[in-house]
Amino acid sequence: MSREKKFIIGIDEAGRGPVIGPMIVVGYCLETSRVDWLEEIGVRDSKDLTKNQRNELYTRLVDMADYWISIIIPPQIIDLHNLNELEYKTIIYIIERASIVLKHQLKKIIVDTVGPPQKLKKKLSKTFPHVEIIVETRSDRKYPIVSAASIIAKVVRDSIISSIREKYGFLGSGYPHDPATREWIKTYYKEHPENPPWFIRRSWSTIAILAPKWYRNKPKKMQGIQTKNLFDYLSKRD
Q: Which residue(s) pair with 109 in the sheet?
A: 9, 133
Nearest to 105 by CA among 27, 36, 37, 31: 31
The pLDDT mean for the chain works out to 90
**170 assigned to some structural domain:** no
The size of the chain, in residues, is: 238
**174 assigned to some structural domain:** no
Q: C-alpha angle with apex 13: 10 to 16, nearest 5 degrees?
A: 155
**184 assigned to some structural domain:** no
State yes or no: pLDDT of 235 exceeds 80. Answer: no
**169 assigned to some structural domain:** no
Tens digit of each residue's pLDDT (9 = 90 or more) over 111-156: 998 778 999 999 999 999 999 999 999 999 999 999 999 999 999 9
The single-letter DSSP state of residue 109 is E
Give me the number of domains the chain comprises. Answer: 1
What is the pLDDT at residue 231?
A: 58
Considering the entire predicted model, what is its pTM? 0.91
Structural domain that includes position 109: 7-164
Q: Which of 109-113, 116-120, 189-193, 205-209 has the lowest mean pLDDT?
A: 116-120
The 3-state secondary structure of 16-83 reads CCCCECCEEEEEEEEEHHHCHHHHHCCCCCHHHCCHHHHHHHHHHHHHHCCEEEEEEECHHHHCCCCH
* Residue 110: CATH number of its domain: 3.30.420.10
**52 assigned to some structural domain:** yes
